[in-house]
């Protein structure tokens, strides 16, 4: 799995050399999930957290220079103030993405990770760095729930 993390984060994250091994270990564990089918329990957009297979991952933003930002660091654990579903919402796979141009015509490249439903291809979550006109990178963490099914 390609590594899109900058390994820098805001002031609430300790960037000391002693934590480099921990950051590398977390990424190794995260990247080991590549291609596996995982239970997805939801995400908290405000806290930048999501849960798969009972593990809570937290994605931290690298604030760069204060005007631009990017994907910083990923951490994990079992404790969180976020609320997740008790039962899985879906079975997902973690995939990487890069170089998409959205509808609307803006020149944009982006890169990161997405959690894709194995049943219908719905993208439940994407996080990474978007970059408009190769000038303004910005951190993204987007949870997109499915529309409720309406019975007719």
pLDDT digits (tens, 9 = 90+) for 38-96: 999 999 999 999 999 999 999 888 776 666 777 777 888 777 889 999 999 999 999 98
| Count of structural domains, the chain | 1
Number of Cβ within 10 Å of residue 67's Cβ equals 9
Give residue 115's pLDDT: 94
Residue 77 lies in a domain: yes
Expressed as residue numbers, the domain containing 79 is: 17-143
Name the token pair of 8: 């820098």
Number of Cβ within 10 Å of residue 81's Cβ equals 7
Please list, in sequence order, all residues whose beta carbon lies within 8 angstroms of the beta carbon of residue 70, skipping any fewer than 6 positions away.
Answer: 6, 61, 62, 64, 129, 137, 138, 139
- The arrangement of strands across the sheet holding 55-62 comes to 70-77, 55-62, 49-52, 38-44, 90-98, 108-117, 123-132, 136-143
Residue 73 lies in a domain: yes
Give residue 5's pLDDT: 73
Residue 25 lies in a domain: yes
Residue 111 lies in a domain: yes
The angle at the Cα of 129, spanning 140 to 22, to the nearest 5 degrees, equals 95
């Amino acid at each position: 799995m390609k590594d899109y993390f900058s390994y820098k984060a805001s002031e609430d994250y300790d960037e000391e050399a002693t934590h480099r091994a921990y950051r590398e270990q977390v990424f190794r564990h995260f990247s080991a999930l590549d291609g596996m089918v995982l239970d997805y329990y939801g995400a908290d957009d405000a806290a930048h957290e999501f849960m798969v297979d009972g593990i809570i991952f937290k994605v931290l933003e690298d604030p760069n220079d204060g005007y631009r930002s990017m994907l910083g660091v990923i951490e994990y654990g079992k404790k969180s103030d976020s609320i997740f579903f008790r039962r899985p919402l879906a079975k997902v796979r973690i995939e990487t993405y890069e170089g998409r141009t959205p509808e609307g015509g803006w020149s944009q490249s982006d890169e990161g990770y997405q959690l894709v439903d194995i049943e219908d291809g719905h993208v439940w979550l994407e996080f990474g760095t978007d970059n408009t006109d190769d000038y303004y990178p910005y951190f993204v963490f987007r949870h997109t729930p499915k529309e409720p099914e309406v019975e007719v």
